[in-house]
Amino acid sequence: MARFVLVHGAFHGAWCWRKTIAELEKRGHQAQAIDLPGQGDDRTPLSEVTLESMADRIVATLNRLTGRAVLVGHSAGGMAISAAAEKAPERLEALIYVCAFLPRAGESLLDIEGRNPEEVVLASTLVADDKLSGTFVPDRIYDILYHDCSAADVSEFSARQRPQALAPFATPIHLTPERFGRVRRAYVECTEDRALVLDMQRDMIRKSPPVTVRTLQSSHSPFLSMPHQLAQALIELVPTAEASS
């Protein structure tokens, strides 16, 4: 039995993992999702949200568990789980990135996104007047995030999105071979992703080997469009994630 801690991406919350948690539990595993600061049901002021506070939230969750966990991050959540692994590698069995940002030491999310030939997410984000947060353009949510999801699910998930703090996106991440580098990691690539396109996913995988990869023919939101297949991929990756060098 594995113990999964699931971390959402930008504009989302723990709620996005509901279907995946049910599928993992049906297969006999433990799973929980958390809200990062300022997202989901968490009311941390967006001006106080940092990449470090995100990592601290994850580490606090890991410290309440018995034994080590498999930490799963979606999209921008890949930055947060990487920062958490640097802080507490001893609490982790593996890191799994689900069409997520997989950084190298010193990179920020914006550094990686700058290599994206189709910067659709930034182009679809309305920045607040105070420059502290952004909101996804409503009429682009379906096409970019949920194009293979049911109308009912799209309606629910779109309504639950909240403004996202922007400061963590510009923060370079601190990673070392001795800490982050010793945690096994794997990647679930999504071939139909329109937010973080497949070429970008594979570019990050090439730049941060070794990783074990599973492929889903999914949009950017496999937790919604194919939770059954995503859960199975996560389970398969637990024993096969390779040790990082």
CA–CA gap between residue 73 and residue 119 (Å, rounded): 20
37 phi-psi bin (left φ>0, alpha ψ -120 to 50, beta other): beta
Q: Mean pLDDT per segment of 10 residues, for the chain of length 245 residues?
A: 96 97 97 98 96 98 96 98 98 98 97 85 90 94 96 94 96 98 97 96 92 96 98 89 47
Domain layout of the chain by residue ranges: 3-237
- Please identify, in words, the CATH class of the domain defined by 3-237: alpha beta
Residues in the chain: 245
pLDDT tens column, 115-146:
887 778 888 999 999 999 999 999 999 999 99
**What is the SS3 assignment for 99?**
coil
* pLDDT (0 to 100) of residue 211: 85
The secondary structure element, H or E, covering residue 84 is helix 77-87
Contacts of 52 (CB under 8 A, 6+ apart): 83, 171
Provide the whole-model pTM: 0.96
* pLDDT (0 to 100) of residue 239: 67
Cα–Cα distances in angstroms (integers) from residue 135 to residues 10, 121, 161, 162, 218, in the given order: 10, 10, 8, 7, 24
* pLDDT (0 to 100) of residue 42: 96
**C-alpha 226: how far from its chain's center?**
16
**What is the SS3 assignment for 160?**
helix
Q: Using the 8-state DSSP alphabet, how is residue 170 labeled? A: G
* pLDDT (0 to 100) of residue 117: 79
Judge whether 196 and 101 are in contact, CB under 8 Å. Answer: yes
**What is the SS3 assignment for 207?**
helix
* pLDDT (0 to 100) of residue 138: 92
Judge whether 9 and 36 are in contact, CB under 8 Å. Answer: no
Judge whether 19 and 27 are in contact, CB under 8 Å. Answer: no
CA–CA gap between residue 157 and residue 19 (Å, rounded): 12
| 113: its two tokens | 């996104």
